[in-house]
Amino acid sequence: MALLDVRDLKTYFKTDDGIVKAVDGVTFSIEKGRTLGIVGESGSGKSVTCLTIMGLNAKRNTITTGEALFKEQDLLGMGMRRLRQIRGNDIAMIFQDPMTSLNPVHKIGNQLTEAVLLHQDVTKKQARARALELLKAVGIPRAERRVDDYPHQFSGGMRQRVMIAMALINDPDLLIADEPTTALDVTTQAQILNLMNKLQEEFGSAIIIITHDLGVVAETADDVLVMYAAEVVEQGPVNQIFSRPHMPYTWGLLGSLPRLDAETERLVQITGQPPSLLRPPSGCRFHPRCPYVMDVCKQTDPPLKPVTGDIDHYAACHLDEETKDREATKLLAGMVAEARTG
């Protein structure tokens, strides 16, 4: 039994203009000790998926259906009281923006101890010791002094470390990290990713990492979920996604990336803009931007089908497998050839 099992998750928001289908039938699962990477453009529903699992969407105007089984209990149908016991304790979340997700008027030590006191039966002193221990673990220098500082006294990278310390303070089984390094410089990003890896080895937590940086996904994730316009369009183990991508959108993402290990004169670009989720395109939602579009794509939405020859690799595309293999090989071979000359 998987640690978290999400089945046919749908999140719809009612707005004045109509219903926005922000997440439309997402299914995935994650085991203990594994890392799942969710990639996609802004507005593809990556963050909303995770917010829904955490029960953090505003109740008003939100319709949620499907199941999110965490240790065989459905998080979606759970009462507020029970959910609060799980949140911050068994499941923790790191938010994207370290500048705005800490409370600016409380010392970070107090914010950290609050998390411990809420979920564990310990004294304030013990909680503070735990907070200190975590600040040291995430590599905050002079933690004894910094514990009584306010968030504005920390730099961006240091604040993100505080966020990670807060998320890990109750040894969560599942850690959801929403773009944890997007706001940071590359050198700081390397520090933070290192840290998350180390902590995972130590605590054996499962991690869901949401990002639009394919480099980060390639290096940290075991499995990958590619989302486009509220749907999963491809999913599978990281090696298969990068060595045998089977969906034109994934090709576009890989090709549009300028990369250090390859020389590209001209980037592959995905033409057009991501569609509105108020009125998503008919059939395959990627068809208006897809260079391989066929008539069938405009009418029927392709289901996620297993990719023959691969294990646990699924893609949603009407193209026949031969064409997909040929095109994927062409794309990747182009990159390799360029890497050699460059």
Partner 1 sequence: MAVSTDAQATEQARPRTGNELLIVEDLKKHFPVTRGIIFQKEIASVKAVDGVSFSVREGETLGVVGESGCGKSTMARCVMRLLEPTGGQIIFDGRDITKLSRAAMRPIRREMMMIFQDPYASLNPRKRVGFIVAEALEVHKMGTDAETKRRVQELLEVVGLNPEHYNRFPHEFSGGQRQRIGVARALAVNPKLIVCDEPVSALDVSVQAQILNLLKDLQRDFGLTYVFIAHDLNVVRHISDRVMVMYLGQVSELADRVTLYREPKHPYTGALLSAVPIPDPVKGRERKPVVLEGDVPSPLNPPSACRFHPRCPRFREGHCDVEEPPLYPMGDGHLAKCHYPLEHWPLTEEEFRQPGRQAVAT
Residues that bind partner 1 (CB under 8 A): 41-42, 141, 155-158, 185-191, 193-194, 212-219, 238-239, 242-243, 252-261, 264, 266-271, 273-274
Residue 145 CB, nearest approach to partner 1 (Å): 15
Residue 141 CB, nearest approach to partner 1 (Å): 7
Angle between helices 124-137 and 108-119 (to 10 degrees): 120
Residue 242 CB, nearest approach to partner 1 (Å): 5
Bridge partner list, 93: 176
Residue 194 CB, nearest approach to partner 1 (Å): 6
**95/156 Cα distance (integer angstroms):** 13
Q: Classify 145 as helix, strand or coil.
A: helix
The type of residue at 11 is T
Rank residues 104 and 258 by Cβ distance to partner 1 and give the closer one. Answer: 258
| Angle of CA points 40, 269, 274, to nearest 5° | 45
Rank residues 85 and 155 by Cβ distance to partner 1 and give the closer one. Answer: 155
Rank residues 108 and 217 by Cβ distance to partner 1 and give the closer one. Answer: 217
Enter the DSSP assignment of 87.
B
Residue 91 CB, nearest approach to partner 1 (Å): 26
Q: What CA–CA distances, in Å, run from 191 to 138, 170, 314?
A: 10, 22, 33
Residue 42 CB, nearest approach to partner 1 (Å): 6
Largest Cα separation within the chain, whole Å, is 67
Residue 130 CB, nearest approach to partner 1 (Å): 25
Rank residues 101 and 264 by Cβ distance to partner 1 and give the closer one. Answer: 264
Rank residues 151 and 255 by Cβ distance to partner 1 and give the closer one. Answer: 255
Helices H / strands E in the chain, number of each? 12, 12
Contact 174, 70 (CB under 8 A): yes
Residue 48 CB, nearest approach to partner 1 (Å): 16
Rank residues 88 and 252 by Cβ distance to partner 1 and give the closer one. Answer: 252
Rank residues 222 and 325 by Cβ distance to partner 1 and give the closer one. Answer: 222
Q: Classify 252 as helix, strand or coil.
A: helix
Contact 130, 153 (CB under 8 A): no
In 3D space, the residue among 308, 227, 309, 188 whose CA is nearest the CA of residue 38 turns out to be 227
Rank residues 65 and 269 by Cβ distance to partner 1 and give the closer one. Answer: 269
Q: Measured on CA atoms in the order 249, 251, 257, 258, is the torsion positive or negative? A: negative
Rank residues 113 and 240 by Cβ distance to partner 1 and give the closer one. Answer: 240
Residue 153 CB, nearest approach to partner 1 (Å): 12
Bridge partner list, 332: none
**208/49 Cα distance (integer angstroms):** 11
**257/135 Cα distance (integer angstroms):** 35
**32/153 Cα distance (integer angstroms):** 36
